[in-house]
Structure 1
């Protein structure tokens, strides 16, 4: 009991996340460079820890500037642990190979969309009694890791009460980046351009909203900070990795920033150029000088963007509080945008990255088919039971690989209507399994599966 007096409920949220299996799996999920041999570059795990750290720093600066913007919430017991938690959790639902993995899952559903939502099998002869309505097909046709994160946190981790990691409603609310379900997705509104939760979690979201007072389309104020930190991490730290790998030099980065009309007059450019002059004057070996310059750029860029994100939140604080704010804090930030452009060209566009993403996409596509066959291949007398016996040897093997956590949720789902239907649960089970895999496991398993006849 003494421990409960020391740690707030929000600090417990962070601790539960930190020690959870999905967080550990992030160490083998792609940030930019898939399955890279250089262990100095970032994975989703290091990225998530950095986002959590940035979020905590920005929250502290905002609180120092105007504590009323957090509604009087205690900085150390509420705001900081909540920001750390949602920063650490924000990418948990991402499938292997990051955005390419999301695209591969969506592509499989689009390729099979002429029957998978409406008919029992590929021959498209027998129609489903419970077809997936058009509005909810988006959950699969535009598969996204954000709603999968909510599902992972709240359902797919084992607990006696079927409540996942049993996080607070406030932390779960702040983790929902896009506070709408698939039917309310709206490309014209940045906070609704994607769906942020699946129909399978509608009851959970209803509970979260009853506890927090939020409604559909209303984003938790701390979510804006988490989103900004993700943008900062993508812009600065992905460029940092590209420099570490020697794809682009720190001097090249500075040349781009100094030549760009949006950034040439930014104070960070002069600050960095002055620091580079001191490095040259120190007459260190070229490889050492390069590493020092990289360190300067990382520190200067992060410092500048933390200041600018904090200022943007304070400037828009009232609109954020009354839920009228729409634009991400870093949406039009010149430094952030320019660095993202460098990352897209020199990191995400690098042939090594593109090759591994292509291999990963092939593996995800192949495994989607393998898991669909295994999940759907039930004996007729057991068809109503998702854990019934499989008929083929290959399908028995593949089905045995499915996490018992995921299978337990699919089998014991008591939700009425579409979310509890056989087909919806089949599709959720398949995407749960694919999204939960790490990069290395995906490639290894695909090599094993495709070798079977």
Structure 2
């Protein structure tokens, strides 16, 4: 029997009224994903450089669209070599939609925003918990560890399933998970433990995914490897192209460094792209991607059985071959010479102030005992009126998820701790879902500078 028949399924946690084939269900997923608000919000999240009216540099949305197209090309390249009967359309769609969604859980200002949120959580949560709840149960250290590890991949799963309620197929949700460790679990020497892949709030969902796809207990869902490779391929050249477009890096600087430091393969690709002629970056990117598509598909098929079994231990591009090494050089150069530029760091400083400021402004909501938090609508004193106005700024969708989960979510030993856990998640869902411009505007409003 084809293993892909056991991996590409139309099964959902909440089945619809009508029977769906796997392809019908995955096509329905596609429609839900493309039209969902988290994807739309990516247009106002920065990829590397501040968003501006010029609109030629990449946002998270345009980056994700490029990743999606690269993922499609990888899927098409792999399919002829898969010696099993596979629903080709469903295979391609799962890869494409995993690529489109790979960044939806990222907070404002991307990975820098993650660092800011984690720093705030580590410094503020212990004292806020003591004020609101007091003494923790024996389970609390695990729950606190979970709350203090914000991660974009884990937030993507939470956002799509627990907040948006898209009810995607288990196959599509599985394809999104780059890491297998829960944020509440200690990192071990096992596969794909580098970062948390889900939060305690989605523990039940992940258990059901693993029950359906046993190989994901110890490793990745196979198509996740293609999504990861597509992401790496998409931003390898793109960040440098945007840097040149914004004038923070010249082609001459890049050329000088590349011709003196890079491998012979990359030098050859640079010269073949003819830097002096219009459309250089497009030719340069296409030349490298053509070779990377062949390399990634070759690696996927070479390690096919181990990938299907969930035991392949490294990314498809982690090989000592010239195109992969060239891509790594381009990424390293961008980190050295672009991400440390004044313009990028200025954006990060703005993000630091705004994210910390918004989190700190809402922190008093976490200091309240549960009864006081749920009765804010009745408060008439001055402090209560301020807190009530903060409460009113929280999105209704997120508040509904908080009310549902704080009353009934499983695996919690203490009702008080469950309520406070989901109150923290409520704030993190709100802040991490903001666009860059939204968090800056919210910060200005809270500081009294609106208008």
Interval containing the TM-score (normalised by the shorter chain): 0.7 to 0.9
TM-fit CA distance, 1:372: 2.4
Residue 148 (structure 1) shift: 0.5
Bigger drift between 128-137 and 201-210 goes to: 128-137
* TM-score normalised according to structure 2 size: 0.86
What's the counterpart of residue 418 of structure 1? 412
Alignment of 1:330-369 (within 5 A): 330-332=317-319, 333-369=324-360
1:59 and 2:75 aligned: yes
Residues 6 and 146 of structure 1: CA distance in aligned 2, closer, same or farther (over 3 Å): closer
- CA-based RMSD: 2.7
Report matched runs for 1:14-413 at 5 Å. 14-64=30-80, 66-68=81-83, 72-76=85-89, 78-117=90-129, 119-121=130-132, 127-130=134-137, 133-157=140-164, 164-186=165-187, 188-189=189-190, 191-260=192-261, 263-266=262-265, 268-276=266-274, 280=276, 289=277, 291-332=278-319, 333-374=324-365, 376-377=367-368, 381-383=371-373, 385=374, 389=378, 392-413=384-405
Deviations 1:382-441 (A, max 9, x none): 44x387555533322221111111110111111134396121111111110111100001
Q: CA, structure 1 residues 346+15, in 2 after alignment: closer, same or farther (shift >3 Å)?
A: farther
Shift of 1:240: 1.7
Does structure 1 retain, via aligned residues, the 8 Å contact 2:112–2:348? yes
CA shift, 1:243, in A, is 2.0
Unaligned runs of 5+ in 2: 1-16
- Partners of 2:154 and 2:409 in 1: CA distance: 18
Change (3 A) 1:116 1:311: farther
Report the counterpart of residue 160 of structure 1 in structure 2: none
**Whole-Å Cα distance in 2 between the matches of residues 138 and 233 of structure 1?**
33
1:272-301 CA-to-partner distances (Å, cap 9, x unmatched) read 31331xx65xxxxxxxx3x42222222222
Superposed CA deviations along residues 343-381 of structure 1, whole A, max 9, x for unmatched, are 212332221111111111111111112222235447x75
Q: Is the 8 A contact 1:363 1:442 kept in 2?
A: yes
Paired position in structure 1 for 2:8: none
- 2:218–2:311 CA contact under 8 A, matched in 1: no
Q: Give how far 1:251 is off.
A: 4.5
Pairing partner for 1:12 from 9, 25, 28: 28
**5+ residue gaps, structure 1:** 158-163, 281-288
Per-residue deviation, residues 63-117 of structure 1 (Å, max 9, x unmatched): 12x113xx532112x1110011100111111110101111111011111244245
1: CA distance between counterparts of 2:31 and 2:45?
Answer: 21
TM-score, scaled to structure 1: 0.85
Greater displacement, 131-140 / 145-154:
131-140
SS in structure 2 at match of 1:338: helix
2:103–2:156 CA contact under 8 A, matched in 1:
yes
Would the aligned equivalents of 2:216 and 2:310 in 1 still touch at CA under 8 Å? no
Counterpart of 1:437 in 2: which secondary structure?
coil
> Which moved further from structure 2: 27-36 or 352-361?
27-36
